[in-house]
Amino acid sequence: MTNPTTHVMKVTKRPYVQMVEGKGSWLYDEDGRTYLDFVQGWAVNCLGHAHPVMLDALQAQASRLINCSPSYYNAPMARLATLVAESSGLHDVYLCNSGAEANEGAIKLARRWGQRHRGGAYEIVTTHGAFHGRTLATMSASGKTAFEPLFEPKVPGFVKVPLNDLDAMAAAITDHTAAVMLEPIQGEAGVFPADDAYLETVRALTRERGVLLILDEIQTGIGRTGRLYAFEHTSVRPDIFTLGKGLGGGVPLAALVASTDASCFEPGDQGGTFGGSALMTAVGCAVMDTVNRPEFLATVRETSDYFVRRLAELAASHGHGAVRGRGLLLAVALTRGDAAAVVEHAFERGLIINAPRPDTLRFMPALNVTRDEVDEMLKLLEPCLP
Contact 325, 193 (CB under 8 A): yes
Contact 74, 282 (CB under 8 A): no
Backbone dihedral region for residue 206 (phi beyond 0: left; psi -120 to 50: alpha; all else: beta): alpha
- The residue (of 92 and 216) whose beta carbon lies closer to ligand PLP is 216
167 φ, ψ (degrees, to nearest 5)? -65, -45
- The residue (of 132 and 362) whose beta carbon lies closer to ligand PLP is 132
Q: Which amino acid is at 144?
A: K
Contact 281, 95 (CB under 8 A): yes
- The residue (of 92 and 183) whose beta carbon lies closer to ligand PLP is 183
Q: How far is the CB of 78 from ligand PLP (least distance, A)?
A: 23
- The residue (of 37 and 188) whose beta carbon lies closer to ligand PLP is 188
Catalytic residue set: 131, 216, 245
Q: Which of 276, 288, 230, 269 is nearest to 252 (CA)?
A: 276
- The residue (of 103 and 259) whose beta carbon lies closer to ligand PLP is 103
Q: Which amino acid is at 54?
A: M
- Give residue number: closest CB to ligand PLP: 99
Q: How far is the CB of 97 from ligand PLP (least distance, A)?
A: 8
Q: How far is the CB of 245 from ligand PLP (least distance, A)?
A: 6
For 320-380, give the DSSP string: ---EEEETTEEEEE-SSS-HHHHHHHHHHTTEE-EEEETTEEEE---TT--HHHHHHHHHH
Interface with ligand PLP (CB under 6 A): 42, 98-100, 103, 131-133, 183, 187-188, 216, 218-219, 244
Q: How far is the CB of 158 from ligand PLP (least distance, A)?
A: 14
- The residue (of 106 and 308) whose beta carbon lies closer to ligand PLP is 106
- The residue (of 25 and 186) whose beta carbon lies closer to ligand PLP is 186
Contact 239, 231 (CB under 8 A): no
Contact 61, 278 (CB under 8 A): yes
Cα angle value 348/351/353 (rounded, 5°): 110
Go through 227-265 and write b for each residue having 16 or more CB atoms within 10 A of its CB, e for each that does not.
bbbbbbbbebbbbbbbbbbbbbbbbbbbbbbbbeebbbb
76 φ, ψ (degrees, to nearest 5)? -65, -35
- The residue (of 22 and 244) whose beta carbon lies closer to ligand PLP is 244
Q: What distance lies between CA 206 and its chain's CA centroid?
A: 23
For residue 150, the tally of other CB atoms under 10 A from its CB is 11
What is the rounded radius of gyration, in angstroms, for the C-alpha atoms of the chain? 21
Q: Which of 355, 372, 373, 324 is nearest to 385 (CA)?
A: 355
Cα angle value 200/261/224 (rounded, 5°): 45
